[in-house]
Amino acid sequence: MLSLYGTEIASRLLLGTAQYPSPAILTAAAKASGTEIVTVSLRRESAGGASGGRFWSLIRELGVRILPNTAGCHTVKEAVTTARMAREVFATDWIKLEVIGNHDTLQPDVFALVEAARILTDEGFAVFPYTTEDLVVAERLLEAGCKVLMPWCAPIGSATGPENIRALRSLRAHFPDTPLIVDAGLGRPSQAAEVMELGFDAVLLNTAVARAGDPARMAAAFAKAVEAGHNAFHAGLVEPRDTAVPSTPVIGQAVFS
Amino acid sequence: MRVLVKGAGVAGLTVAYELASRGAAVTVCEVRPEIGHNASWLAGGMLAPWCERESAERAVVTLGSGAADWWEAVLPGHVARTGTLVLAHARDAPELARFSARTENHRRLSVEDIANLEPDLAGRFRHGLLFAEEAHLDPRRAMEALARELNAKGIAFRFGDEQVSPSGFDRIIDCTGIASPDPDLRGVRGEMLILRTREIALTRPVRLLHPRHPIYIVPRADHHFMVGATMIETDNDGPVTARSLMELLNTAYALHPAFGEAEITEMGAALRPAYRDNFPRVSSCGATITVNGFHRHGFLLAPAMARRAADLVFNSDMESDNEIDRQRRSA
């Protein structure tokens, strides 16, 4: 079981709730994925008000744990304020911390991220920081009190899959005991399997499911890929090599050619 | 058959028309003092079932493809059948590929095709799609004209009247949108603006695809352009936010820099009424029939839903929404 801030989670697939054609399709996708954690954006859906209204009720009706996020925040102050609001609205200390540094790539501002993480962990939040694959930033986030890291593998919504496998491997190797969740950039189930085979603990998906032709079916496909990758990592993958290795002995066999 | 229609948005007006055409004595009551200033008033007025299929179920095509004919028959001269142009900047080419794969009844355009269709956009986009069978209308002119048409048919309007007594009516049709007490409805906030410029002319609605802010621009009379619309999951219908305004203006500017010099003649925000599946519903409870949940498809799906409501009024044995549910399941 995956343990996130003391909570045992069986499903290693986290699902975002934005961009679905309808709440009904979101519900179907969440069920098909088997997810136990969904993320919700506060800032965008509140439109300046305190309430996302019916939509948030529909999210609550999914009956899974809610991980509010600070998507759309560009400064420490915005992110901290949004996190505090999320704590009240959803009655949870969990917060997926996003502080965007570049509007175009939605790349996290890692300096502001560390600062906001420190403030929020001091206030008792369980912070899930959306970060890059940078090793030193990861160290700083752990020092700031984060117990989970959510590195991207490619820009949000890009659906390109892991761009820097070497850095992801290095992150896994350096923090063997910290839950690592690949947050952004996955487009295909095979890519989710790929990062899970590296030993990552879970993946978070949104665009790849929400904008698929059939989101529920895609959610189910990802769930299988995530499980396959996870099992493959723990089963111990055979390393690739250049020469053929026959699976049955050849010595002593008759040679016909 | 005496019927009270509550609400004079696009749903109420189309329902009133269908009922009156079949011989019902219809009264329309509306809490506002006149036609307009509701969600329909801020609509784009696009009759674009094939484009909408990108994010809506197939029924949007089966029920919406007749909408342009309905409006043209009822309000001759109001419908412009010039199609829809769908564009994306080179960096958003995957969005165009996705849109193309998820929709039908379009053709791919070259640089020359785009220049021929919309000369002012010449050279600005390398690829696009044309949905030639789609149409659009000006929702405000259409609603006012439809109200006049209903007046001429002898339909009574009672504006500014919240307390119309249901007694004396055989059926009540609730078309009050987000104001309806239906607990299954939620609001999806839409923000729009109207620009005015003589520096650019368009002959058809243009949808500019973008991974985060897909925006459309619909040409209106007298050099006006309606730019819409945000889709935000909230029940807050307060004023347009700075962020949304920036997104809308950015997209207009990205379509053509001339929009940067345009006058902003209007900004508006309203709540689209939506059910869980973002698809409208005709439901029946006692003497009341509810026609609601049009989401972003008011002008597109109101004719089909109005027919459906009228069928229910004149054939009370019929079970509400069964036919539509069946159509949607088989689609």
Interface test with A, best of B233, B236, B294 (most A CBs within 10 A): B233
Instruction: Work out the pLDDT band at A47, boundaries 50, 70, 90.
Output: very low
Q: Locate the chain A residue with the closest alpha carbon to B57.
A: A21
| Among A31, A77, A96, A147, the one annotated catalytic | A96
Q: What is the pLDDT of residue B317?
A: 65
Q: Please answer yes or no on whether A22 and B277 come within 8 Å at the CB atom.
A: yes
CA A229, CA A237: separation in Å to the nearest integer? 10
% of chain B with per-residue pLDDT over 70: 95
> Does A21 sit within 8 Å of B234, measured CB to CB?
no
Chain-wide mean pLDDT for chain B?
A: 93
Lowest mean pLDDT of A39-48, B41-50, B279-288, name the range: A39-48
Task: Select the residue of B56, B187, B234 nearest A46 (Cβ to Cβ).
Answer: B234
Q: Tens digits of per-residue pLDDT, B128-149?
A: 999 999 999 999 999 999 999 9
Q: Is B189 on the interface with A (CB under 8 A)?
A: yes
Cα separation of B208 and B128, whole Å?
9
CB-CB: which of B102, B187, B241 is closest to A53? B187
Contact A47 B234 (CB under 8 A): yes
ipTM of model? 0.86
A51·B235 Cβ contact <8 A: yes
Identify whether A96 is a catalytic site residue.
yes
Q: Which residues of B touch A23 (CB under 8 A)?
A: 186, 276-278
User: Hey, what long-range contacts does A127-133 have (CB within 8 A, 24 or more apart)?
Assistant: A127/A95, A127/A97, A128/A4, A128/A67, A128/A94, A128/A95, A128/A96, A128/A97, A128/A181, A129/A96, A129/A97, A130/A69, A130/A96, A130/A97, A130/A98, A130/A183, A130/A184, A132/A107, A132/A108, A133/A164, A133/A167, A133/A168, A133/A171
Band the pLDDT of A133: cuts 50, 70, 90.
Answer: very high
Q: What is the pLDDT of residues B96-106, one digit of tens each?
A: 999 999 999 99
Contact at 8 Å (CB) between B289 and B309? yes
Span A25-46, mean pLDDT? 89
Mutate to test the interface with A, among B53, B184, B234 (most CBs of A within 10 A): B234
Which has the higher per-residue pLDDT, A82 or A45?
A: A82
| Contact (CB, 8 A) for A98 and A69 | yes
- Domains in chain B and their CATH numbers? 2-45+138-182+277-330 (3.50.50.60), 84-132+186-274 (3.30.9.10)
The answer to whether residues B53 and B63 touch, using CB atoms and an 8 Å cutoff, is: no
Chain B stretch 218-237, residues whose beta carbon is closer than 8 A to a beta carbon of chain A: 232-236
Nearest neighbour of B238 by CB, restricted to A49, A159, A211: A49
Tell whether B276 lies on the interface with A, counting CB pairs under 8 A: yes
Instruction: Report chain A residues whose CB lies below 8 A from the CB of B102.
Output: 213
Answer yes or no: is pLDDT of B49 > 60: yes
pTM here is: 0.89
- List all residues of chain B from 25 to 54 with a beta carbon under 8 Å from chain A: none
Of A23, A25, A54, the CB nearest to B235: A54
CB spacing of A49 vs B234 below 8 angstroms: yes
pLDDT value at A117 more than 60: yes
Taking CA atoms, what residue in B is nearest to A58?
B276
- Name the more confident of B181 and A235: A235
